[in-house]
């Protein structure tokens, strides 16, 4: 058996196309892992530098505006508080939303919605293709190498005039095809998983998560090898086989996902974060021209605990200013809920599209494992909302009771602490990949038995 495998391996490596394809795949996978590691390290550096700079700035503001006669309104206005979403160790393999959504945001005591969506100038939530990372190599490039290795599996023997001899000498021809497929399947997996394993060791990825990604890669690769073997058993020439396989790859990885993306966008319309920012700012700006009682009444509807505090009798007071901002936030709460519900609905439909398109299933699973999917981004926003609420709870007693904000009060201000990443596998997508791989393998096995 060992001699047989050595012979088969020599046959594969003797093919210049196969050898170059495998080496190229390994090199690109290594580059993708390096690029992902560098991106994650860059994000960590940016977070560390920003947090240190913001804390130094806070100390400066405290010295300037806090004291025996300190004004909480000024401290709240000039103090920026850093919030951040640290990348999970596995993020290098699937950058997902981290490449297009903010992972670092500083907030003030002003209205939050305008600050949350200030940088949301694009609509990247349905960028199904993703960026150049390990997931990209796995989803888009690995099938092309599989085509190079499988397109002439049967037709190559026929064109060389050896097919009759091969079938006559093999005790069970289907085992021969199966052995050749498994050998090529293993070579492709080694080419992509070896660089990934090195990346996991460098990043300190947990063994469970690394194994989960390896399982995803194995199932996805099995699907393509099964599908291509099915085609290889049907075509009469290697050229036709390569063209048919390329057409299937093009349809399943590019055309159908793009069409699905378009249909989902049309079926589930969603606004943009920047629209929420503009709506909140318009409400705040309109507040300058309204009587203060109108603004306070809107604010007291959601914050009745401050209704009995001293009224504002001067032209400007910080508590009126912050009430105006908070009333603007409260007014867009329904739009915010609708926006996030639309994003989640789109994500669910994208996951359903993965039932028929394994590339999408792979991306969904890997981004969930790497904590870089839409849910992770929304959880980060929820943490910012909770932190902003804590800031308001801390500052409001100083503002509405008109209490001096002393220097020691600066040290007691709430600080942001990011929640730990979950990084759970998407079982549904794993089951989908398993079913698709099994179906493709069964169909291929059935046709290869009939090769003659």
Geometric angle at alpha carbon 246, from 445 and 431, rounded to 5°: 50
**What is 325-369 written as a DSSP string?**
HHHHHHHTHHHHHHHHHHHHHHHHHHHHHTTT-HHHHHHHHHHHH
Flag whether pLDDT at 402 surpasses 80.
yes
- For the chain, what percent of residues have pLDDT higher than 70? 95
End-to-end Cα spacing for the chain: 24
Give 283's contacts (C-beta < 8 A, 6+ positions apart): 327, 328, 331, 332
Percentage helix, strand, coil for the chain under 3-state DSSP, each rounded to 5: 75, 0, 25
CA distance 6 to 57: 66
Q: Is 154 helix (H, G, I), strand (E, B) or coil?
A: coil
CA distance 197 to 199: 5
Q: Are 118 and 14 in contact (CB under 8 A)?
A: no
Query: Looking at residues 292-303, what average pLDDT do you find?
Result: 91
Flag whether pLDDT at 447 surpasses 60.
yes
Residue (of 154, 128, 150, 132) closest to 141 by Cα position: 132
pLDDT per residue as tens digits for the range 97-113 = 887 788 999 999 998 98
CA distance 352 to 263: 13
Token look-up 């349809």 returns: 251
In this structure, what token pair is assigned to residue 73? Answer: 């309104």
CA distance 409 to 405: 6
CA distance 377 to 199: 24
Q: Count of alpha carbons within 13 Å of 88, Cβ hemisphere only?
A: 29
pLDDT per residue as tens digits for the range 313-340 = 888 899 999 999 999 999 888 888 888 8
pLDDT per residue as tens digits for the range 103-159 = 999 999 998 988 888 765 444 444 444 578 999 999 999 999 999 999 988 888 888
Pairing of strands 81-84, 104-107: antiparallel
Query: pLDDT tier at 202 (50, 70, 90 boundaries)?
Result: very high
Of the two residues 99 and 241, the one the predictor is more confident about is 241
Name the pTM for this structure.
Answer: 0.86
Which of 90-104, 227-241, 260-274, 403-417 bottoms out in mean pLDDT, i.e. has the lowest?
A: 260-274
**What is 233-281 written as a DSSP string?**
TT-SSHHHHHHHHHHHHHIIIIIHHHHHHHHHHHHS----HHHHHHHHH
């Amino acid at each position: 058996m060992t001699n047989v495998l050595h012979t088969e391996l020599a046959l594969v490596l003797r093919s210049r196309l196969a050898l170059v394809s495998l080496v190229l795949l390994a090199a690109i996978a290594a580059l993708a892992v390096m690029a992902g590691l560098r991106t994650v390290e860059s994000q960590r550096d940016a977070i560390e530098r920003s947090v240190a700079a913001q804390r130094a700035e806070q100390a400066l503001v405290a010295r300037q505006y806090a004291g025996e006669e300190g004004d909480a309104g000024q401290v709240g206005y000039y103090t920026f508080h850093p919030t951040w979403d640290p990348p999970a160790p596995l993020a290098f393999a699937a950058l997902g939303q981290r490449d297009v959504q903010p992972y670092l945001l500083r907030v003030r005591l002003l209205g939050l919605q305008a600050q949350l969506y200030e940088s949301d100038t694009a609509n990247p939530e349905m960028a199904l293709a993703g960026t150049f990372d390990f997931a990209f190599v796995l989803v888009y490039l690995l099938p092309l190498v599989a085509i190079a290795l499988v397109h002439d599996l049967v037709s190559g023997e026929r064109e060389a005039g050896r097919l009759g001899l091969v079938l006559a000498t093999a005790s069970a021809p289907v085992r021969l095809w199966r052995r050749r497929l498994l050998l090529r399947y293993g070579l492709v997996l080694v080419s992509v998983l070896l660089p990934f394993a090195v990346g996991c060791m460098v990043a300190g990825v947990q063994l469970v998560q690394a194994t989960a990604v390896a399982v995803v890669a194995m199932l996805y690769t099995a699907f393509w090898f099964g599908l291509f073997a099915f085609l290889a058993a049907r075509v009469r020439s290697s050229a036709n086989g390569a063209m048919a396989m390329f057409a299937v790859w093009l349809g399943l990885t590019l055309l159908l996902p793009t069409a699905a993306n378009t249909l989902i966008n049309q079926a589930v319309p969603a606004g943009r974060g920047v629209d929420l920012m503009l709506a909140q700012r318009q409400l705040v700006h309109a507040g300058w021209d309204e009587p203060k009682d109108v603004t306070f009444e809107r604010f007291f509807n959601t914050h009745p605990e401050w209704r009995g505090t001293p009224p504002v009798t001067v032209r400007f007071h910080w508590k009126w200013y912050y009430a105006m901002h908070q009333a603007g936030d409260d007014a867009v709460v329904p739009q915010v809920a609708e926006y996030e519900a639309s994003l989640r609905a789109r994500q669910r439909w994208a996951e359903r599209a993965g039932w028929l398109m394994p590339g999408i299933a792979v991306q969904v699973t890997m981004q969930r494992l790497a904590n870089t999917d839409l849910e992770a981004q929304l959880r980060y926003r929820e943490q910012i909302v909770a932190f902003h609420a804590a800031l308001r709870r801390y500052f409001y007693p100083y503002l509405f009771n008109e209490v001096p904000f002393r220097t020691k009060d600066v040290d007691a201000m709430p600080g942001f602490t990011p929640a730990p990443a979950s990084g759970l596998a998407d079982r549904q997508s794993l089951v989908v990949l398993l079913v698709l791989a099994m179906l493709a393998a069964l169909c291929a096995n059935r046709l290869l038995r009939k090769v003659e």
